[in-house]
Amino acid sequence: MEIKTIMVVGAGLMGGGIAQVAAQAGYNVIMNDVKMEFIDRGFNTIAGLLEKQVKKEKITKKDKETILSRIDKSVVFDAAQKADFVIEAAFENLEVKKGIFQQLDAICRENVVFASNTSSIPITTLAAATRRPDRFIGMHFFSPVPVMRLVEVIPGLKTSGQSVKTTEEIASKMGKETVRVKDVPGFLVNRCNAAFRAECFKCLLEGVASLEDIDKAIKLGLNHPMGPFELADFVGVEIGYSVFKTLYEGYKDPKFAPFLVLEKLVISGDLGRKTGKGWYDYTSGEKKPRTDITF
């Protein structure tokens, strides 16, 4: 089946980016979220990023209009009848994701493949909630989606070779490189990154250096574009937390035990840039160290 239309469920940080790269690759896109204002926000972000590309003369104004015209918006799942492929990027919550896929299972055509962008939920678990475990796969993008080149392709226990092939072709058309990864807790990149971040947390707790200096050291010493705490705020503190929880539950390895302060940030709703506070405070419009959390 030729893939023409991709439905992207969730129009947040990742869903917006995925919708953008899909539309730029020439696919028709259906952006879905629970409220039209969320879809509009995602759509406006895409329009703004494309406008920047116009200003840099990477694309023309006409290209921008064509890309945006490929995007439809819908708050109802009925629109999924038109989809040839679905990519889900809703909240990192098992029940939310299961609910979405069960509804879509009843609406989408039989040959449609479902892909989840989950950071930590086992693909086989999500697939088992549907009647199409052979047409279910993990398609793990990295943030910011238009910039980051990797997509982890994660087949579940029953995922067919054809579903893997279709997913890799779509990722490639989006300009991404893929790696095939087993459905293990944290997949590949998050598992390795969590081990690294856990060491950074330990250094913070031991007072080896300040939070800002750890970020600075990792950027300048290892040439990472962002330090571990800046990155956590950029990605969403709650996402890092669920990755640690999944890894800890999955491997029973104490190195992945979520740090108490991380849990406290999540419980207090300090999720990073998107809420104004995380490891840093952004409420003044600038990134500032926090003085109200103790380590």
Ligand X SMILES: NC(=O)c1ccc[n+]([C@@H]2O[C@H](COP(=O)([O-])OP(=O)(O)OC[C@H]3O[C@@H](n4cnc5c(N)ncnc54)[C@H](O)[C@@H]3O)[C@@H](O)[C@H]2O)c1
Stretch that binds ligand X, among 22-30, 58-66, 116-124, 208-216 (CB under 6 A): 116-124
Among 20, 28, 32, 130, binds ligand X (CB under 6 A): 32
Stretch that binds ligand X, among 156-164, 172-180, 220-228, 233-241 (CB under 6 A): 233-241
Stretch that binds ligand X, among 10-18, 58-66, 175-183, 281-289 (CB under 6 A): 10-18
Q: Is 230 a catalytic residue?
A: no
Asked if residue 239 binds ligand X (CB under 6 A), the reply is yes
Q: Is 190 a catalytic residue?
A: yes
Stretch that binds ligand X, among 32-40, 194-202, 221-229, 280-288 (CB under 6 A): 32-40
Burial class of residue 290, CB neighbours in 10 A (0-12, 13-18, 19+): middle
In angstroms, give the least distance from the CB of 58 to ligand X: 24
Asked if residue 12 binds ligand X (CB under 6 A), the reply is yes
Chain position carrying tokens 């459905």: 183
Phi-psi region of 262 (alpha: psi -120 to 50; beta: other; left: phi over 0): alpha
Asked if residue 229 binds ligand X (CB under 6 A), the reply is no
Task: Please enumerate in sequence order all residues whose Cβ is within 8 A of that of 211, keeping only pairs 6 or more positions apart, or say none.
Answer: 204, 229, 279, 289, 295
Could you give the 3-state DSSP secondary structure of residue 74? strand
Asked if residue 256 binds ligand X (CB under 6 A), the reply is no
Nearer to ligand X, 54 or 276 (CB): 276
Which stretches of 70-225 are DSSP H helices?
94-107, 123-128, 161-173, 189-205, 211-222
Among 5, 117, 130, 167, binds ligand X (CB under 6 A): 117
Number of other CB atoms surrounding residue 1 within 10 Å:
11
Q: Is 249 a catalytic residue?
A: no
Asked if residue 9 binds ligand X (CB under 6 A), the reply is yes
Nearest by Cα to 239 from 125, 109, 91, 99: 91
Nearer to ligand X, 89 or 200 (CB): 89
Distance of CA 185 to the CA centre of its chain: 16
Stretch that binds ligand X, among 19-27, 138-146, 170-178, 211-219 (CB under 6 A): 138-146
Nearer to ligand X, 15 or 146 (CB): 15
For the chain, give percent helix, strand, coil, nearest 5.
50, 15, 35
Asked if residue 146 binds ligand X (CB under 6 A), the reply is no
Asked if residue 90 binds ligand X (CB under 6 A), the reply is yes
* CA dist 271 → 158, 207, 267, 283 (Å): 35, 23, 9, 13
* CA dist 28 → 37, 44, 144, 174 (Å): 21, 17, 21, 13
Q: Is 44 a catalytic residue?
A: no
Among 68, 96, 203, 217, binds ligand X (CB under 6 A): 96
Cα 5-7-11 angle, rounded to 5 deg: 140
Nearer to ligand X, 198 or 237 (CB): 237
Cα 28-29-32 angle, rounded to 5 deg: 160
Peptide bond into 225 cis (omega under 30): no
140, 168, 230, 238: the active-site residue: 140
Question: Catalytic site residues?
Answer: 119, 140, 152, 190
**Sites of contact with ligand X (CB under 6 A):** 9-15, 32-34, 38, 89-92, 96, 100, 117-119, 140-143, 235-236, 239
